A and B are shown apart, each in its own frame.
Chain A
């Protein structure tokens, strides 16, 4: 074993002391200090922690850090290395059940402890999933494939393209539905780009993750997984969807359209919300309940268009008062081909930016306006400033969410550089990213404290 592995994560003084006593990690030891003695197992140390302490797992199961400056002797009794492994069981096969494919990209849907950083790292193995959520076998025959093992924030064009291609392969193979395990932070970016890259799929494509990692008893991972697998196996909805908790309670999940969904809370289980519209359906362990009828239906054919175009030189500019034109200048100078602005109100930026916008127009950069209010449409005719900006080539992007406009622009610019064609494609809805109307129940952010809202909260499980 390499020296680094022997003393996993230890450095500086702590490493010297362990080496001096030849006490590698996982050693079962008695450590004598100037204060007294401790007995336990030496654990690896997180690399970001200081070099002054040794971590010991006491017999009681508790971990403590012992300052190395006090250590006078280490007596080694033996060794007990942890094998963190969810019991793997082969997924049972039932010819009467639909076949579902689970593609893994990472995230906390399945995760385990990482001693290097002390944080949880994603772990994805089909047997592990079945070992921890055996209920899945009641729904379908599940096959899994690990495409990537990355945190959600590390997803990018390479992974988008790879995932879209893998989905194309699975559709061709004839699966009843596809589930994609994904970190939650950027799940809505991936859901949006897959909605464009995979056109007219014949089966459900369901993205799922968890807000509480699966190494916690209260994790939402198991139930989310059951909901998403049920959707993939049984739902009549052939679209790219996000399947996550409806309320924070363990009751039902929601199926959100891939282009209208957004993560709205940094940590709540019920963080995903359909913006400016209502979700496609509710899903529980027992049934799938559509909330609308205008979704694309499941088909028996295997026809699907996979278009993985992606231009990387596209960015989002989140406008703030007093923004200087150099923000836009730098994007021009760095060769950006597309900019999505998240503007204020109906879609505005301040006047000092105009010369920079003009420069961008002259440089043939596609600029699209979205709203940072998230809810509502861009409307640039209401005020003169809006009209001025349209003169400068800024195109209003209706009620496309900023992140959705961003991935769509990247996808469109990957296919053409003709700005008129870009505009035509951008403003022609492909997967519900622009809707003709906002229903009156599409914007409902309840305000706590108001009597009728409190009454609602007291009646229904949050």
Chain B
């Protein structure tokens, strides 16, 4: 194995990442802007921590379609959790409670997902099959998420290459966790069932920075449709990381893209260091075959301990178990992430699987802390018959949990001889990550027998394709080429006016720079003044640009005009083309009548018609036709207005 050691985050170079074979992929979950939830008719996007009722459920593993149990499912079953769902009757119906079968898929959500699939250049699926993806953590009351693939094998351009999109899924969102203490986990159900898309990229990002950048790029692409939700929790990322010789590990629930670099750096380091730990174990002669360990109930040794957690555990009737890891001396202090050590991996497992959630949940003999006295360690050592090269771990809790914890300590230690366990891990605030659960595999998929397959006809795709916004990366490249100011490029590429920009520049010959300022910068400036910029829709902006083109309005006058319109109740059209004053109308009538004075007409009526035509053409809806006709008639008759 390469003897490279991870440097501090700031000092790592792309070459360093190349050396360890760093690879990262993203799974981006993005809620869609629909009125209803995906498989029921509850209102979408209403969140509240208030609840009217609670229900309690347990989850049991079931077989996959191919007749196998999923590893994660079995792990979750081991934890024997009681799941509490909080129900708010405004946001949740009997569907989310799993007491009513699903309704047909929300067509709007499907349209949005199909559109985004085409933006990714995906191969669109001809017939959708709804699947049940098992989640035994309780985050969905059914125990599975209804999900379907709408497209596969897409791509988006990034730098000088493509990032591959493995698949685009459409699925229902899960519950929000409120708490997870001991054997009870509590969820809020308001977010449950919200439609979201899951974009899965190939592991094509080669540095932590690239992972974040591609995350931003994908976010801009989906936002360019104007049909996705924004705001806290509307988009969430999972990040996959692996290094040479490692395994794919998934970091779940990254709430903000800027946190991706540090998180992926730490995960790369963790994997690299776990591989080094495996080699170190091998040097000491400890392999999967030779690994040995044992555990024993040792509550009696701590009747008089001064270590508070043990004291209160024993007082509460709990059990204490000691574990001996043969030949592991000092290795629980092996660094894995920044300020994080191998002991943390073990403690995490004990917390999640044995439900020993009160920390600390273990102590070990490699620790420099003096939680236990050396006399106590001596007793444990004797009780477990361990030698100087062994490491001891002590765990405590309710009998069944403590015993399970002891077994789990051994399980995790043994996995160190293999290297990196396939896990999903949770993002922590300090940029490191902790164990969440075993990485689920394809075995957790099961066809949804409640819903029939859904055909996606070519005509539907064609209809949606016609309405797609321009592709973001191509667009940005073009903006650069035609000299759009750099600070406007990213904004314009996801702006709802991106398509208008293109036609204005390409078809109407407007200056790219000026047009980009009108379409991208003005709305920004106006928003800063707290003006209701949402009133500036595509049609209004098209009218404004048209007026500029026809020189009906000076460029300089535009921004004040917008401000005036948005600050008042007037439409832009009204301001652009103000109504003719009485005097203007009068002058115009006189002028027109006089200009026709010497022309011959078959009748006075046809003279009037001709004059009227000229006046209307000049003022185009800025005068009242009836009033003008009346005045014109009077003027032709007796020369007054």
Contacts and interface: CB of A to CB of B under 8 A. Distances in A.
A263 to B, nearest CB: 14
Interface stretch (A57-65, A273-281, A411-419): A57-65
Interface string A58-82: 1111111111001000000000101
B99 A65 contact: no
Contacts of B94: 267-268
A67 B127 contact: yes
Given A59-B442, A458-B53, A66 B99 contact: no
Interface in A196-238: 211-219, 222-223
Contact of A61 (B59, B123, B131): B131
A80 B66 CA distance: 9
A57 B65 contact: yes
A251 B63 contact: no
Contacts of B67: 82-85
Contacts of A118: 447, 449, 452
Q: Which of B56, B73, B101, B453: most chain A Cβ within 10 A?
A: B453
Interface stretch (A48-56, A96-104, A401-409): A48-56
A247 B169 CA distance: 35
B127 A64 contact: yes
Interface string B55-92: 11111111111110000010000000000000101000
A173 interface: no
B126 A65 contact: yes
Contacts of B57: 218, 249-250
Contact of B152 (A38, A57, A113): A38
Nearest to A41: B66
A113 B99 contact: no
Nearest to A81: B66
B97 A248 contact: yes
Interface residues on A, range: 35 or more
Contacts of B59: 217-218
A348 interface: no
Contacts, number: 164
Given A60-B167, A458-B53, A53 B65 contact: no
Nearest to A38: B152
Interface residues of B, number: 61
A53 B127 contact: yes
A462 B54 contact: yes
B453 A61 contact: no
A61 B444 contact: yes
A266 to B, nearest CB: 8
A86 interface: yes
Interface in A389-445: none
Interface stretch (B30-38, B143-151, B182-190, B389-397): B143-151
A55 B127 CA distance: 9
B63 A215 contact: yes
A62 B148 contact: yes
B262 interface: no
Nearest to B130: A63
Contacts of B455: 50, 52-53, 65
B6 to A, nearest CB: 31
A458 B66 contact: no
B64 to A, nearest CB: 8
Contacts of B64: 61
Contact of B447 (A53, A66, A70, A113): A113
A461 interface: yes
Interface of A: 35-36, 38, 46, 48-50, 52-53, 55, 57-67, 70, 80, 82-86, 112-113, 118-120, 132, 211-219, 222-223, 247-251, 265, 267-269, 448, 454, 457-458, 461-462
Interface of B: 52-67, 73, 87, 89, 94, 97-101, 123-129, 131-136, 141-144, 147-149, 152-153, 166-167, 169, 441-447, 449, 452-453, 455
Given A112-B63, A118-B447, 19 more contacts: A60-B149, A61-B64, A63-B445, A63-B447, A64-B125, A84-B63, A84-B67, A118-B449, A119-B449, A214-B62, A215-B446, A217-B134, A218-B57, A218-B59, A218-B143, A222-B60, A223-B58, A248-B99, A462-B87
